[in-house]
Copies of this chain bind each other. A is one copy, B any other.
Amino acid sequence: MTAHLGVDLGGTNFRIATFASDGTTPLEVHKEEVGEPRDPETIVTRLAAAAERLAGPGEATLGVGIAAMLRDREGTVANSPHLRWRDVPFGKLLAARLGGRFALGVYNDVNAVVWGEAVGGAARGCRDVLGVYVGTGIGGGVIAGGQLVEGVSNCAGEIGHVKIRWDDDAAPCACGQRGCIEAYVGGSYVARRIADELGAGARSAAIELAGGAGLVTPGHVDQAAGQGDEWALALWSELAPMLAVVLGNALAVLNSERLVLGGGLLGRTPVLYELVTTSLMVAAPVAILEQLTVAPAELGDDAGLVGAAALARSGTSIIRG
């Protein structure tokens, strides 16, 4: 019997799970802190040890979702700020360490998450899916005709770096360019903007809700917006159409059946979520909207594990060691 494993490798923890034959029910989940040292050799050794233990002695499929920008379909990490890796042949190293009994695939973490939602979550049964996650940053994943869209260098879905402004005042983004949607609606930028505006004396019910201007999170802003707070509503009303245009534009090209929205920010800001989906109704072409449903992500932290395992199991971009 072949064992089916999924890994979610982030900057803080890695988790690894075996799955039942349905592909979505975890049988055993193991979690470790990434900690230090976190050089590729150390992480590969630890991951392989955990995988070998969970897989047992037989054949296995192993899908890894990694918080990294990849460069190809063989798991080469171009850059992972989370792991502090650059130009690391992670897939090749792990495949060599695991040997031939493992069919290994390495995927961008957000791509794995979107695939997970399609396998057993908010996009179950859909063959054309756009998933967008607004957390600290903004990431995305695309499924077209039932296949994960990986792109030529496995960088597809980089919707956070879609340009929403291109004038001289466009906001600088951590990617080095300007005007990316992430630089407006990504969680770390939203948090800074909240701090800046409240620090400069803006008044808002969010301050009371948080117990101090320095403690206000996007969640407090959302609560305040829900109570009709003017500053909070103005901020959300500025950001929501920007994100909606980016979503609508991607949908115009993709004609997706299901848009899945999630992430640490959007998952905790129901008023913003509502404003985004409402704005989308004028931002996307009518023919595209007719066939579209929007749904919040369902699987939470498990989506990446489920998706990575399912991608490897489906034979997507298996690495030959």
Contact = CB atoms under 8 A, between A and B. Distances in A.
A127 interface: yes
A249 interface: yes
Interface residues of A, number: 51
A295 interface: no
A128 interface: yes
Interface stretch (A7-15, A83-91, A254-262): A254-262
A49 B254 CA distance: 35
Given A152-B128, A154-B255, A163-B245, A285 B140 contact: no
A283 B166 CA distance: 8
Contacts of A246: 249
Contact of A287 (B78, B248, B286): B78
Contacts of A199: none
Contacts of A151: 128, 144, 254-256, 291
A212 interface: no
Nearest to A162: B249
Contacts of A155: 255, 285, 287-288, 291
Contact of A253 (B145, B152, B159, B282): B159
B283 A157 contact: no
Given A154-B255, A287-B153, A177 B282 contact: yes
A156 B254 contact: yes
Contacts of A140: 253
Nearest to A129: B152
Contact of A149 (B145, B153, B287, B291): B145
Given A159-B253, A163-B245, A249-B249, A153 B291 contact: yes
Nearest to A141: B253
Nearest to A151: B255
Given A159-B252, A177-B285, A246-B249, 10 more contacts: A78-B287, A127-B152, A144-B147, A145-B149, A151-B254, A155-B287, A155-B291, A158-B253, A158-B255, A161-B252
